[in-house]
Amino acid sequence: ARYRDEAATLPHADRIVFPGGVPPHEILPLIASADVSAMPVQGDTLNHRLNTPTKLFDAMGAGVPVVASDLPGMGPIVRETGCGELCDPDDPSSIAAAIRRLLDAPPERRAAYRAAALAAARGPYAWERQAETLLALYDGLRLPAEPPAR
């Protein structure tokens, strides 16, 4: 409620949406309707620093450019794919500048962000490719021959 109240006071309040719970089959169309998908996760815990949120992959799959924290979990993916811009999540002006770079980009640059996001989602970050990697990792794990002695 606090965020809704604060958002209502902003000059662009009519462009801020709090969709609430979304059925899985409606997630990609909803994300695809956005201009930017922002995930300025603060790196205040190890989990947050290494986090690669599903939201990042959803945005790529919908062809929506991202603004993500320049942290070890997300930064390399955004850099490698070119699907968006990175920001310092502890600096509001850095977050705003990254969003501005996307929103103010010329149409051909916005199309390039979209193409990069879709190429990543259909290529190296497609579930089929990631599943192969995950299954290979599982295959490489070795269980102890016998349970440890107590």
- Across the range 9-15, mean pLDDT stands at 91
Q: What is the pLDDT of residues 66-122, one digit of tens each?
A: 999 999 999 999 999 999 999 999 999 999 999 999 999 999 999 999 999 999 999
User: Can you read off the two tokens belonging to residue 122?
Assistant: 């259909």
User: Can you read off the two tokens belonging to residue 26?
Assistant: 């409606």
What are residue 36's phi and psi, to 5 degrees? -150, 145
Q: What is the pLDDT of residues 39-51, one digit of tens each?
A: 999 999 999 999 9
Cα angle 95, 39, 109; round to 5: 70
Q: Tell me the CA distances in angstroms from 16 to 6, 45, 90, 101, 108, one per residue in order.
A: 11, 28, 22, 19, 26
User: How does 40-66 read in b/e, with b if 16+ C-beta sit within 10 Å?
Assistant: bbebeeeeebebbeebbbbbbbbbbbb
Give the up-direction half-sphere exposure of residue 10: CA atoms within 13 A in the CB hemisphere: 11
Give the pLDDT of residue 98.
98
